[in-house]
Amino acid sequence: MLNEYQKRLIELLLEKNHNISYSQAQNWVELLWDDFETTYAKAGEKYRGSEMTEKVVRQWINHYGEKLHEFSSNNPKYKHLLDQDLSKLH
């Protein structure tokens, strides 16, 4: 279930990258969100809330968002995120 933080991040990613669909942006935000929270927890850090996660994911999107489609096409682990129907681009 998406929260308001993630919805804002999806919109930001769609502004940055016109090569992906809404559902792909949602997948990316969820992946980045989960990756940060999992890595943070594995490092033994105290959970600092959704605000902290949003801040970090927002930074990643601002730095890498416009090129995420290039990253995934070169990495089989993420390729499924961008197998796209071109008619569904925003």
Per-residue pLDDT tens over the stretch 2-57 = 689 999 999 999 999 998 899 999 999 999 999 999 988 888 888 888 999 999 99
Domain carrying residue 72: 4-84
Query: Is residue 86 very low, low, confident or very high in pLDDT (cuts 50, 70, 90)?
Result: very low
Q: Is residue 49 situated within a structural domain?
A: yes
Quote the crossing angle between the two packed helices 4-16 and 22-42, to the nearest 10°.
Answer: 120
The whole-number pLDDT of residue 68 equals 80
What is the pTM (predicted TM-score) of this model? 0.79
Q: Is residue 14 situated within a structural domain?
A: yes
Residues forming beta bridges with residue 89, ordered by sequence position: 21
Q: Is residue 90 situated within a structural domain?
A: no
Bigger pLDDT: 1 vs 6: 6
Across residues 80-84, what is the average pLDDT?
61
Structural domains counted in the chain: 1
